[in-house]
Amino acid sequence: MLSFKELTKQYGDFYALDHFQSELGSGIYALLGPNGAGKSTLMNILVGLTAPTSGEIRFHGQNTEKLGEEFRARIGYMPQYPGFYPDFTAMELMRYMADMKCIPRKTRDQRCRELLDAVNLTEQRDRKIRTFSGGMRQRLGLAQALLNDPEILVLDEPTAGLDPKERVRFRNMVRRLSEQMTVIFCTHIVSDIETIAKEVILIHHGKLIQQGTIPELVAGMQGKVWEVEPEPNELEALLDQYSRSSLVSRNMQTAIRIVHDTQPHPKAHLCEPVLEDVYLYRFGDDTV
CB of 207 to ligand ADP, least distance (A): 12
Residues 51-110 that bind Mg ion (CB under 5 A): 80
Rounded Cα gap, residues 143 and 135, in angstroms: 12
Q: Count of alpha carbons within 13 Å of 149, Cβ hemisphere only?
A: 5
Rounded Cα gap, residues 277 and 246, in angstroms: 10
Q: How many CB atoms lie within 10 A of CB 181?
A: 18
Question: Quick one: which segment of 33-41, 120-128, 139-147, 268-276 binds ligand ADP (CB under 6 A)?
Answer: 33-41
**124 vs 187 by CB, closer to Mg ion:** 187
**219 vs 288 by CB, closer to ligand ADP:** 288
Q: Which residue in the shown chain puts its C-beta closest to Mg ion? A: 40
Q: Does 260 bind ligand ADP (CB under 6 A)?
A: no
Angle (CA) 88 172 41, round 5°: 65
CB of 7 to Mg ion, least distance (A): 16
Contact 127, 90 (CB under 8 A): yes
CB of 36 to ligand ADP, least distance (A): 4
Q: Residues touching ligand ADP: how many (CB under 6 A)?
A: 10
CB of 214 to ligand ADP, least distance (A): 20
Angle between helices 134-145 and 105-118 (to 10 degrees): 140
Determine which residue in the list 40, 144, 187, 245 makes contact with Mg ion, applying CB under 5 A.
Answer: 40
Q: What is the dihedral of CA 265, 269, 273, 277, to 10 degrees?
A: -20
**138 vs 245 by CB, closer to Mg ion:** 138
| Residue 37 partner contact from Mg ion, ligand ADP, none using kind-dependent CB cut-offs of 5 to 8 Å | ligand ADP
**93 vs 190 by CB, closer to ligand ADP:** 190
Rounded Cα gap, residues 105 and 103, in angstroms: 6
Determine which residue in the list 29, 38, 119, 214 makes contact with ligand ADP, applying CB under 6 A.
Answer: 38
Determine which residue in the list 20, 22, 29, 40 makes contact with ligand ADP, applying CB under 6 A.
Answer: 40
Question: Quick one: which segment of 28-36, 54-62, 90-98, 177-185 binds ligand ADP (CB under 6 A)?
Answer: 28-36
Of 148, 167, 138, 150, the closest CA to residue 78 belongs to: 138
Rounded Cα gap, residues 165 and 39, in angstroms: 25
Determine which residue in the list 28, 30, 32, 41 makes contact with ligand ADP, applying CB under 6 A.
Answer: 41
Question: Quick one: which segment of 20-28, 36-44, 192-200, 260-268 binds ligand ADP (CB under 6 A)?
Answer: 36-44
Q: Does 278 bind ligand ADP (CB under 6 A)?
A: no
- Interface residues toward ligand ADP, by CB under 6 A: 11, 16, 33, 35-41
